[in-house]
Amino acid sequence: MSLPNAGGSGENSGLANAIKSRTAHVVHLTHNDLDAVGADAIHRMKFGTDGVFTIWSSVGKFAGLFALVASCEGKGDLLSISDLGYHREIELIAKKATANGWNIEWRDHHRWRDDEIKKTERTVALLHIDTSVCGTGIVARDIAPDNPVAAEIARVVCDYDLWKHEDPRSAVLGQVLQRKKNRDHVRDCLVAGIFSDALIEQEYAEIKAEMEAMMQRSLNHATFLGKKYRIAFAPLYGYPSETAHFIRDERKTDIEVIIGKDGKFSVRSVPPISHIIAREFGGGGHPNAAGGSFNFSVVERFTWWLFKKSRHFDEFVKAAEAN
């Protein structure tokens, strides 16, 4: 199996040059949501702001970005991976990274199979999987166990990421981070032990108004299928998690599939099978929340935009109702 392309020009070339010229001795490769932001804040509390080089990654770009880092000289530095799950190419990439001098520590809270854990443990210095907490919770416990601010960050982040919704601060931060421009600001606030400020409050007010309109628009274009489960398929206009829960509350669905213009989708489910279904579509995640892709062709992208229907609906229903 060949490694994902780690070269090229443009954005990746610039990132590779930045990694090669880094002065920080910790490269933190993480997801791009509140859980990732919390984990990055704790890394910076531990190693210093100037001591951490952060790379935000979607699930789909993870293998390529991991390969990019692996292709650079590690010099004995720490490559810390958090809140990103198993990928079929990671053993090869991890071996390349280790050979290039990286010390890899991986902390994740997604579901891994036993064979995936065993294969990965052979190629990294540390693999810590715990599905009972969020990624930030694992990071806080591992690298800042005696830091009360880190523990508080973990509590707030886990409240949102594990859908407890007991702490009102978590929903505000989670929704503010739907806008990626807010990532660094929220992270820097958390490093200082700050959970809200004027900018966060302003962003939240704007997002809340926008979100309500987008959720209603998604519901208006939703399709409902399934016999064993009531399954909603709806286009994504923004805020996938909130849209899924809005549709569930309004239409009493069991499974919600929120689909982007390119076929990538977020799935939320009452039965704990989201991660199982998502694996059938090149993705993964948690029992009640996961993501995958229908890999729309150019024609399918157009018909999805026009009709909000897809041949993949039946494939998804079949996969869901087999569980």
Rounded alpha-carbon distances, angstroms, from residue 64 to 12, 50, 161, 164, 236: 9, 25, 25, 33, 25
Measured distance CA(43)–CA(107) in Å, rounded: 12
pLDDT tens sequence across 175-184: 999 899 999 9
Q: Which of 298, 284, 307, 288 is nearest to 235 (CA)?
A: 307
**pTM greater than 0.85 (yes/no):** no
18 and 141, same domain (yes or no): yes
Half-sphere exposure of 283 (CA within 13 A, CB side): 25
Band (87; pLDDT cuts 50, 70, 90): confident
Cβ–Cβ < 8 Å for 116, 86: yes
65 and 149, same domain (yes or no): yes
pLDDT tens sequence across 202-215: 999 999 999 999 99
188 and 272, same domain (yes or no): no
State residue 11's pLDDT score: 59
111 and 59, same domain (yes or no): yes
Does 208 fall in a domain?
no
305 and 230, same domain (yes or no): yes
Q: How many domains would you assign to the chain?
A: 2
Does 313 fall in a domain?
yes
Residue 228: count other Cβ atoms within 10 Å of its Cβ.
13
Q: In what order do the strands lie in the sheet with 103-108?
A: 52-56, 26-30, 78-82, 103-108, 126-129
77 and 157, same domain (yes or no): yes
The answer, yes or no, to whether residue 2 has pLDDT greater than 60, is no
Among 164, 196, 228, the domain boundary falls at 196
State residue 10's pLDDT score: 53
CATH assignment of the domain containing 220: 3.10.310.30
CATH assignment of the domain containing 153: 3.40.50
Domain range for 134 is 11-196
Among 196, 221, 236, the domain boundary falls at 196
Does 5 fall in a domain?
no
218 and 264, same domain (yes or no): yes
Does 203 fall in a domain?
no
